[in-house]
Amino acid sequence: METPHSPSQRDPTFEPDEPRTPIAVRRALHFLHSDEPQVRVHAARDIRRLTKTSSRCRRQLAEAVGPLVSMLRFDSPESHQPALLALLNLAVKDEKNKINIVEAGALEPIIKFLKSEDLNLQESATAALLTLSASSTNKPIISACGAIPLLVEILKQGSSQAKVDAVMALSNLSTYPDNFSIILGTNPTTFIVNILKACKKSSKTAEKCCVLIESLVEYDEGRTALTSEEGGVLAVVEVLESGTLQSKEHAVGTLLTMCNSDRCKYREPILREGVIPGLLELTVQGTPKSQTKARTLLQLLRESPYPRSEVQPDTLENIVCNIISQIDGDDQSSKAKKMLAEMVQVSMEQSLRHLQQRALVCTPTDLPIAGCASEVQSK
C-alpha cells in the first residue's frame, strides 16, 4: 500500500528505473510543442533552468533549438525573452548547439532585438551574440547579417551590461580577418576607450578592449581617436600597470604601435601619462612578448640626435636615465639607477627561483628524444 509521500503520488511522471533529469527534459520538450503559447513559454523557462549549469542537459535538449527559434520568429513578444534566454543557455560551452542555433535561423530575430526599445531584450540579444560569436563557424555569418554596426551602436548607448557584452562580442568577431575592416569602418575607438576608462583594469572587459584598441591603432583614425579622447592614453597605461598579463601585452603593443607609426607625434602623449614605471616592471615581469615590446618602446621613447653607434650602448639604465632627464631634470641618474636596481633585484629573485625549480624537476627523461609523438597526451 502506498504512503501519502510515495514517489508516484508526488510526481505522476515518476519512473523508478530512470533518473529524474531525463523525465524533466522529456516533459520540457513535450510542452515546447504545445499549441498553447503560455505552455511553450513555461517550457522555455524550464529549459533555461535545466541548462543553466548542466552540459548534459544542453546535449539532451539540443532538439529544442528549432522550436525555440520558431518562438523567436513567430510567437508574440511575451515569448521572445524566455525563448532567447533558453537558447543562450543551450549555446554556452556547446559548439554544436551554437552552430545549430544559427543554422535554425536565430540571427534574424536576434539582430532585430538589438534595435529593440526593450532594454532587457536588447541586453539578452547582445549576450546571445557574444555567446554565438565564440564559434569560428558563426563569425562570418554573424557579420554578414549586419550585427557589427548594431553592436557598435550598443557601445554608444546600451546598458552597462550590454556595452560589456558588445565589446566582447566585437573582440570575438574581430579574429575573423574580413570582419575587422567592417569594425574599423564603424569608428568604434572612442566608445571602446570610454568602456576601458570606466571598467576595472584587471578585468576581462579591459583585456577585450585592449585587444580591439591594439588592432585599431594600426590605422591613423584609431590612433587619432585614442589620443583625442581625454584620458584615452592614460587608460591604456593603467592597464599596462595593473591589468592581467594578457591585457598588459596588448596595452604595451598599443603604445608601441603608436610610437612606431609616428614617434615624434606620439612620444610626448605617452610619456606624459607616466608610462615608464609600468614599462620597467614589464621588462622583468611580463610575458616574453611583453618584455620585448617594453624594451623596444623604452628605446623609442629615448631621445637622441646621434646614431646609435656614436652614443653609449642602449643599456636599460641609459635609456631610463635619458627619459627621466627630460621629465624631471633633477637628480636623474640616481633615480634611474634606483628604479633599475629594484627591477634587477626582482629579476634576480625570479631567476633564482626558476633555477631552483628546474634543479628539482629536471631529469634525463626531460631531454628531447627524436621520434616523440607530435600530439599531446589526452588529459
What integer pLDDT is reported at residue 302 of this predicted model?
Answer: 84
Model pLDDT, residue 371: 33
Contact between residue 174 and residue 183 where contact means Cβ atoms under 8 Å apart: yes
Where along the chain do its domains lie?
Answer: 188-304
CA–CA gap between residue 130 and residue 152 (Å, rounded): 13
Q: What cell was used for 298?
A: 623604452
- CA angle in degrees (0–180, nearest 5) for 327-332-336: 100
pLDDT at 247: 97
Q: Which residues contact 91 (CB under 8 A, 6 or more apart)?
A: 97, 98, 101, 128, 131, 132
Please tell me the CATH code under which domain 188-304 is placed.
Answer: 1.25.10.10
pLDDT for the residue 62: 97
Report d(CA 173, CA 138) in Å as an integer. 9
For every one of its 379 residues, what pLDDT tens digit does the chain have, with 9 covering 90 and above?
334 343 333 344 333 433 455 899 999 999 999 999 999 999 999 999 999 999 999 999 999 999 999 999 999 999 999 999 999 999 999 999 999 999 999 999 999 999 999 999 999 999 999 999 999 999 999 999 999 999 999 999 999 999 999 999 999 999 999 999 999 999 999 999 999 999 999 999 999 999 999 999 999 999 999 999 999 999 999 999 999 999 999 999 999 999 999 999 999 999 999 999 999 999 999 999 999 999 999 999 986 434 444 444 455 555 555 555 554 444 544 555 555 555 545 444 544 444 444 444 433 333 232 333 322 222 2
The answer to whether the CB of 241 falls within 8 A of the CB of 251 is no
Contacts of 279 by beta carbon, 8 Å cutoff, 6+ apart? 240, 252, 294, 297, 298
On whether the CB atoms of residues 222 and 174 are closer than 8 A, the answer is no
A 10 A CB-CB count for 173 gives 25
pTM above 0.85, yes or no: no
Q: What pLDDT shows up at residue 315?
A: 52
- What pLDDT shows up at residue 372? 32
Q: How far, in Å, are 25, 63, 224, 238 from residue 52 at the CA level? A: 13, 17, 43, 35
**Cβ pair 89, 107 in contact under 8 A:** no
- SS3 of the chain: the string is CCCCCCHHHHCCCCCCCCCHHHHHHHHHHHHHCCCCHHHHHHHHHHHHHHCCCCHHHHHHCHHHHHHHHHHHHHCCHHHHHHHHHHHHHHHCCCHHHHHHHHHCCCHHHHHHHHCCCCHHHHHHHHHHHHHHCCCCCCHHHHHHCCHHHHHHHHHHHCCHHHHHHHHHHHHHHHCCHHHHHHHHHCCCHHHHHHHHHHCCCCCHHHHHHHHHHHHHCCCHHHHHHHHHCCCHHHHHHHHHHHCCHHHHHHHHHHHHHHHHHCHHHHHHHHHHCCCHHHHHHHHHHCCHHHHHHHHHHHHHHCCCCCCHHHCCCCCHHHHHHHHHHHHCCCCHHHHHHHHHHHHHHHHHHHHHHHHHHHHHHCCHHHCCCCCCCCCCCCC
- Give burial (CB, 10 Å; 0-12/13-18/19+) of 176: middle
Q: Look-up: residue for cell 631610463?
A: 320
- The pLDDT value recorded for residue 22 is 84
d(CA 352, CA 347): 9
Q: Phi/psi at 370 (nearest 5 deg)?
A: -60, 140
- Tell me the residue type at 30: H
